[in-house]
Structure 1
Amino acid sequence: MTPAADVPADVPAEVRVLVYTRSGCTACVAAERDVERVCGELGQGWAAVDVDTDPELRAEYGDRVPVIMVDGREHGFWRVEEPRLRAALGG
């Protein structure tokens, strides 16, 4: 997989799911919990990135967090749609 432009350079290549989040966001906590569980069950890597650590990320995703990316492409936002996420990950 070649990293997409929307994926920060410091995210390891084995990460298939990236959750853009921010501190104090209850929806973000729920999304991270769901992604962690699904990715754990399917043996897929995932990571979370706080949009407030980068002005460009905050401008792009700030009002829509959490944003879920799969393989460098936006998969959804505000909540995890578990059946869709599983299908996207081949599970």
Structure 2
Amino acid sequence: MSPRVTLYSKPGCHLCDDARAVIERVCSDLGEEYAEVSILEDPALLERYGEEIPVTLVDGRQHDYWRVSESRLRAALGAGPAGS
């Protein structure tokens, strides 16, 4: 089973550091996993998200960018996977 939360980031991004801290806290509290992907490793991701990082996806859908709202993330994860 893949993680429900994905963080698109890049090294040296202070907003990414802030987003990671929120995601780690929420996922830890809710028993969820998350994956972090550097957009520098994928030219398509770099082109698509280069000006919006960090970008958070929940269940494969874009959820937030630039800042992660802890309450919105908790609500999205509490709702269960899409389609269930």
With structure 2 as the length reference, what TM-score do the two structures score?
0.90
Is 1:87 the equivalent of 2:63?
no
Is 1:23 the equivalent of 2:11?
yes
Gapped runs of 5+ residues in structure 1?
A: 1-12
Report the RMSD for the aligned CA atoms in angstroms: 1.1
Gapped runs of 5+ residues in structure 2?
A: 80-84
Q: CA deviation at 1:33?
A: 1.0
Specify the code of the residue in structure 2 equivalent to 1:56: A
Higher helix share: 2
**CA deviations over 1:25-79 (Å, ceiling 9, x no partner):** 0000110111011000000110110001110000011110000000000001001
Aligned mates of 1:61, 1:51 — CA distance in 2: 7
- Give % identity: 48
Pairs aligned (count): 79
Secondary structure, counterpart of 2:4 in structure 1: strand
Runs of 4+ in 1 over 6 A off after TM superposition: none
